[in-house]
Amino acid sequence: MPPANSWLLITLQTPFWAAILIGLALILAIALAGIGYWRLSRRQEKLLKELRESQPHKPAPTAPGSTLSQDAYLQFIHNISHEVSNPLQSIQTNLDNMAGCTPQETARWQQYLAIITTEIRRLRELTENLRMLSRLETPDVPVKREPVNIKGVIEAVMMAQVEVAEAKRVRFSYNGPERPARVLGDRDHLYRVLNNLLDNSIKYAHPEGGEVVIAVQEENDRLAVRVSDDGIGIPPEDLPYVFEMAYRMPHSGNLRKAGSGLGLAIVKRIVEQHGGKIQIQSQPGQGTSIVFDLPLYVPG
């Protein structure tokens, strides 16, 4: 006769229950870490608010070796705290929902798990952006230089973004030579530049959709790349600040756009690291155009 608790051993050996128990252990670990980080960010946000209120009329000095004023730095920390706390709150809510499910409610489990996965992806992207920005802000970091087929990079970015663009009824088009001259730079970094620019164009497209045009033009020993859209545009008073890492454009109306606000700061620093310049033009309701140039590769 099997021991009295054999039914429990047999049940736990089934794939379903094993997966459930492993999943619960992982979820509990993520929840404990997430809740702790969320509480820390809330305390940090409260401290920042108290600092601003206690020093409303004092000048904001720039820290030695930094391009950010004290106020700008505090605003940067405030923005990042929000970008961390929002997904953590969502993760905690959906973990609570999962805890209330029965083992038979697999459809609900999958729904909550999909939301948690999306929020974890947001946190991972934020972490990667912060790591990238930290590297770009570090002086004397060696920069890789190699011949890069810029059109190949553009096509790769378009392919990566095509599903997101189609979901928002945004179409892509390329305007330039079939075989443009190669540029000198880091392919991975240039991919990030174009990916960030296309991501912004899709994100701020009109609700009914639109078009993003990537144009390439050779000018003497430089190659200019222009990314233009016909989206909601940027107010004139915001244009001088869009490339600052401590700045985030106010949302138009009640629109809430996901993202850390670090994308354009990273773009500017990568372009400048490659010896290029970047400019932006925009009109509210008419769209935005960003152009940057890169040095051409000259075989030695």
Q: Residue 63, exposed/middle/buried by CB under 10 A (0-12, 13-18, 19+)?
A: exposed
Helices assigned H by DSSP within the chain? 6-12, 15-54, 70-99, 106-137, 150-167, 187-203, 263-273
**Average of per-residue pLDDT across 74-102:** 77
139 burial class (0-12, 13-18, 19+ CB within 10 angstroms)?
Answer: exposed
For tokens 């600040």, what's the residue?
A: 241
3-state class (DSSP) for residue 212? strand
- The predicted pLDDT at position 299 comes to 82
pLDDT in tens, 111-151: 888 888 888 877 777 777 777 777 776 666 667 789 999 99
Residues sharing a CB contact under 8 Å with residue 31, sequence separation 6 or more, in sequence order: 91, 92, 95
The one-letter amino acid at 158:
M
Report yes or no on whether pTM surpasses 0.85. no
Element (H, E) at 147: strand 146-148
- Is pLDDT above 60 for 95? yes
Q: What does the block give as tokens for 91? A: 């993760």
Whether the per-residue pLDDT at 52 is higher than 90: the answer is no
Res 43 pLDDT > 50: no
How many CA atoms lie less than 13 Å away from 286 in the CB half-sphere?
Answer: 7
For 207, the 3-state DSSP assignment is coil
Instruction: For the chain, list the domains and their CATH numbers.
Output: 6-56+65-137 (no CATH), 146-295 (3.30.565.10)
Within 10 Å of residue 159's Cβ, how many Cβ atoms? 10
Which carries the bigger pLDDT value, residue 2 or residue 288?
A: 288
- Checking if the pLDDT of 13 tops 50, the result is no
